[in-house]
Amino acid sequence: MEYKKNDLLTVTIEDMGHDGEGIGKVDGYTVFVKDTVIGDKVQAKIMKAKKNYGYARLVEIMEPSKDRVEPRCAYARQCGGCQIQALSYEKQLAYKQQKIENNLIRIGGFQKEEIPMQPIIGMEDPYHYRNKAQFPVGCDKEGHLIAGFYAGRTHSIISNRKCYLGVEVNEQILNLVLAHMEAYDIPAYDETTGKGLVRHVLIRYGFQSKEIMVCLVVNGSRIPGAEDLIAKLREIPGMTSISLNINREKTNVILGRKGKLLWGQEYITDTIGPIAYQISPQSFYQVNPVQTEILYQTAIDYAGLTGKETVIDAYCGIGTIGLIAAKKAGKVIGVELNKDAVKDARINAKENKITNAAFYQGDAGRFMVEMAAKGEKADVVFMDPPRAGSDERFLSSVVKLSPKKVIYISCNPETLARDLKYLTKHHYKVEKIQPVDMFPFCDHCETVCELVRK
Ligand code: SAH
C-alpha cells in the first residue's frame, strides 16, 4: 500500500527512532510519528510521503501505551528541547540502552552476546538537572515580549519561562529581565530584520557553589538602565556575574566573540568531585553536574590508574577529565581544539595546584600523529570527542601509541559504534560499556567504554 500527503491512517507504534519518534507499520508502509511512544495506537496524518515510508503528525491517541505518562510541561509537544517526555522515565532509560546496543550491532558489527553492557545509570530525580539555559527573547503576535524555547526544527519562540529541566531561579531572572525591557522600552532582537537589541538570556548555575551567572546576548554594546537592572538582579542570592555578550551578526550562533562585564566577576566557579572549575559564558561545561560526576568517576575507575601512568586526555575541553585523572597518574597531557577552553584548562590546573598536567591547543588527530612519530608512549588514553566522533588519523595514532587502555566517552552511539569497530579490528577489546543518562526527557545518550589492548 502506498500513501500520500494528508492521508489519515491508524497505526500501532512498535519502535522508536533516533530522535525519539515513534515508528509503526501499516500494510508494509512505515510511518514515523513524532510525539508517540511504543504501544500507542494512534490516528496520524501523513505530512510527507515517500514510496515505502512517510512522516506523519499525531492527530489522536486512540489507545495510549501503558508506558505513556502525562508530561509535566504543557509545551512538551511543541518545544524543541525535549523529545520523549511522554514516555515513563523507566522506559526512557530502556530506550537509550537499546539504542546504544542497536548501534553497536548495526554499525559496530558486534554480536549481541559479546557486548559487555552494564545497565544504564539514570537519575533519582530527573528534573531541574541543567546548570545552563539559553532563552531566546522575542515578541508574540500581539507584540508582547516573550522568552522561552525554539519550537522543534524552527526558530519560532514558544513562550515558557518555567522549564522543568532548568533550575527554578531561571524563571525569576527572566521575569526581571523582561520587566526591565518593558520598563525601558528595550526591543527584542528580530531575526528576520536583524533589528532590536536583546537576543538571548544565558543563565548558568553552579550546583555546588550556588553561584549564578546572567549574560544578556545583545545586538549592540550597552543596555539601557543597566544600573537599575544590575541592582535588581543582585538581590537574587548567589548572583556572581552579570555581563553582556555582543553579537551583531545575522547568524543563529548564539554567542558573539566579545563579552562585557557589567557587575561582579567574569566567571562562576563550580566543583566536580575534587576539582573546582572556572566557567565563563563561552566555556563548554557539561550541563548535568549530578550525572557528570558519575560519568567521570566511571571513566576514572575504568582507567585503573596507579599513580605512575602517562595519560592523554583528548578532546579535553576545559580539562575536566584530565584534572581528575592527574591526581592519580604520573602525568597528564590534554589536547583540545578550542583556544578558550585550553586557556580555561590551564587556569583550572593552576587554581587546583595541579602541576603534572599540561594542555595543548590543536587538532587531537594531528597531535596524536606527532606523538606517535616522536615515538612517545602513553599508558591510558581518555577520548571524549564531539558528536561527529573521532577520525582515522586519531584512531590509527592511538593504535601506534599502543596504550594499555583506551577510555572512550561518547555522546553519540552511532559514531561510538563506528570508532569501536576500528579499534576492535586493531588490537583492542571492549571490556566494559556503561551508559549514563545525562539528558532525561531528551533523546541523547552518553556512554563510557573501556577498551583494553589484547
Ligand atoms: N572532555 C570535555 C569536553 C568534551 S566535548 C568535557 O567532558 O567537558 C568535546 C570537545 O572536543 C569540545 O571541547 C570540542 O571543542 C573538542 N574538539 C572538537 N573537535 C576537536 C578536534 N579535532 N581536536 C581536538 N578537540 C576537538
pLDDT digit string, tens, across residues 226-240: 999 999 999 999 999
| Cα Rg, the chain, nearest whole Å | 24
Q: What's the rounded mean pLDDT across residues 347-367?
A: 96
pLDDT category at 448 given cuts 50, 70, 90 is very high
- Predicted confidence at residue 2, as pLDDT, reads 81
Beta bridge partners of 79: 151
Name the range with the highest mean pLDDT among 10-24, 148-162, 176-190, 268-282.
176-190
Which atom of ligand 1 has the smallest separation from the CA of 296? 7
Residue 282, pLDDT above cutoff 90: no
The model carries a pTM of 0.93
Residue to substitute in 271, 282, 284 for testing ligand 1 pocket (most ligand atoms within 8 angstroms of CB): 284
pLDDT given at position 154: 84
Q: Is 445 exposed, middle or buried (0-12, 13-18, 19+ CB in 10 A)?
A: buried
- pLDDT mean across residues, the chain: 95
Residue with the smallest CA separation from ligand 1 atom 7 is 320
Residue where the block lists cell 510511518:
31
Ligand 1: list residues with CB < 6 Å.
284, 286, 315-317, 320-321, 335-338, 341, 363-364, 384-386
**Mean pLDDT to the nearest integer, 277-288:** 89
Residue nearest to atom 21 of ligand 1 (CA): 363
What is the percentage of the chain residues whose pLDDT exceeds 90? 92
Please state the rounded mean pLDDT for residues 372-395. Answer: 95
Q: What is the mean pLDDT of residues 319-337?
A: 96
Beta strand 239-246 with 212-218: parallel, antiparallel or unpaired? parallel
**How far away, in angstroms, is 317 Cα from ligand 1 center?**
5
How many A from CA of 337 to the centre of ligand 1?
Answer: 7
State the pLDDT at residue 340.
85
Provide the terminal-to-terminal Cα distance of the chain, rounded to the nearest Å: 51
- pLDDT on residue 284: 83
Distance CA 59, CA 162 (A): 27
pLDDT for 327 beyond 90:
yes
The CA–CA distances, whole Å, from 293 to 99, 123, 296 equal: 23, 12, 5
- Residues 326/354, Cβ–Cβ less than 8 Å: yes
Grid look-up 599540561 returns 358
Give the DSSP H/E element, type plus range, for residue 347: helix 339-351
CA-closest residue to ligand 1 atom 10: 315
> Looking at the predicted structure, is the pLDDT value of residue 1 above 90?
no
Could you give the CA distance from residue 283 to residue 318 in angstroms, rounded to a whole number? Answer: 7
Of 79, 82, 163, 411, catalytic: 411
